[in-house]
Amino acid sequence: MSTKERKALGRGFGALLKSVEEQTVSDNKGEVPQIQIDEVGFNPKQPRQEIDNSKLEELAQSIKTKGVIQPVLVRPLENAAKKYELIAGERRLRASKLAGFDQIPAIIKPIGDDELLEIALIENIQRDNLNPIEESKAYRDLLEEHGYTQENLAQRVGKNRSTIANFIRLLQLPDEIQKDLSEFKLTTGHARSLLAIDDEETQLAIRDRVLDEKLSVRETEDAVRTVKSKEAPRKPAGKPETISPQMVLNQDRLRDRLGTKVSIKSKGPKGKIEIEYYSEEDFNRLFSLLLN
């Protein structure tokens, strides 16, 4: 991730994710307060669902030696079983407990429910803590629960709008392929190639080839193009639509650029391009892109 992109992350939330030194200066205190680990409840909106236990052990060993260098971020709770709710720093909290610590340094901020998921997402993106499916689901939840458009969400988290759209498209894949992405057996490049195929059975068949033969992204794209070119003659009689390998490539490029399903249908020198949209907001987004 570039320096420019990191600076853009979480615009408006810089004060919440300051370093220990900046927080100390701004609060004019000599040290960050310590809170009891057992008084902290976990954030139910935490985007990260998978934690590598071996890396957690490594972090715990580091904390035993050097302590917790960066404080966690929590918000105070009222009338709840726990005194605080964790916003950012789950690995540090778990590792500290694993290391036998009773307390942890914490920045305590009153944070609203509407900001909870966004801050947790930003913190994880900055530290590259999320797998592709966790990141995709976090973007989807922000869009559905908080009324963001893809455009303003992209601005909030410092990503291109097409990147947000491509992440969300990953959730259209079969569960088996999503699991592979979560476990980093497949890359997002492999997954985007498979999205060019509509048939789930064919997607899974190519996915098996990718895993068995350790195909690169480019080789996966070639396999997808081969399958699609073989499927073209099977269209019903009376619809002699064919699509050349170059048109398949053009179709895939349009899908990546527009972040939605695109179909190119050819009949001799003529043809048509079909672009799908799934909501009024999605239509307005595509309409704006096409006008530009």
Q: First vs last Cα of the chain: how many Å apart?
A: 27
Q: Are strands 270-275 and 262-267 parallel, antiparallel or unpaired?
A: antiparallel
- Selected catalytic residue, list 22, 78, 90, 200: 90
Q: Helix, strand or coil for residue 167?
A: helix
Give me the DSSP letters along the chain: --HHHHHHTTTT-GGGG--HHHHHHHHT-SSPPEEEGGGEEPPTT-S-----HHHHHHHHHHHHHH--SS-EEEEE-SSSSSSEEEEE-HHHHHHHHHTT-SEEEEEE----HHHHHHHHHHHHHHTT---HHHHHHHHHHHHHHH---HHHHHHHHT--HHHHHHHHHGGGS-HHHHHHHHTTSS-HHHHHHHTT---HHHHHHHHHHHHHHT--HHHHHHHHHHHHHHHGGGSPTT---B--HHHHHHHHHHHHHHTS-EEEEEETTEEEEEE---SHHHHHHHHHHHH-
Whether 85 is a known active-site residue: answer no
Bridge-based pairing state of the strands 72-76 and 84-88: antiparallel
**Do strands 270-275 and 103-108 pair parallel, antiparallel, or not at all (unpaired)?**
unpaired
User: Known catalytic residues?
Assistant: 90
